[in-house]
Amino acid sequence: MTPTLREVLNYFEKQSRALSLTDLARELHIEPALLQEMIGYWVRKGKLRQVGADSCGSCGCSAGCPLPTTLPRRYELATDNLPTGVGFCPRSGS
């Protein structure tokens, strides 16, 4: 059975870390393309955000960092106290 939009958001609310799209799709038994649309809805609503996609944001490599584009998409709950794009940096190991 396909999870509802709310169930997807509830799953993120129970996690303390960013989740990759592929891992979450496997966990929820849902096609990645459908899950991407569901996550996109919550991103547009400001409840979730993508992390580590365009730049890692923690080592200063900015958009020139070649590594984040090869990493899987990861998402987390959007909170007011964290800037967008905070996440794992392959160069610094944090």
| The two three-digit tokens of residue 13, written as one number | 């609310």
* CATH of region 5-77, choose from 1.10.10, 1.20.120, 1.25.40, 1.10.150: 1.10.10
Percent of the chain with pLDDT over 70: 64
Q: Quick one: pLDDT at residue 42?
A: 95
Q: Quick one: pLDDT at residue 71?
A: 59
| Contact between residue 12 and residue 24 where contact means Cβ atoms under 8 Å apart | no
Tell the residue number behind the tokens 């944001």, with chain if given.
57
| Residue type, position 75, single letter | Y
This prediction has a pTM of 0.65
Q: Quick one: pLDDT at residue 90?
A: 42
Give Cα 92 distance to the centre of its chain: 19
77 or 56: whose pLDDT is higher? 77
Q: Quick one: pLDDT at residue 67?
A: 54
Q: Quick one: pLDDT at residue 72?
A: 72
How would you classify the pairing of strands 48-51 and 74-77?
antiparallel
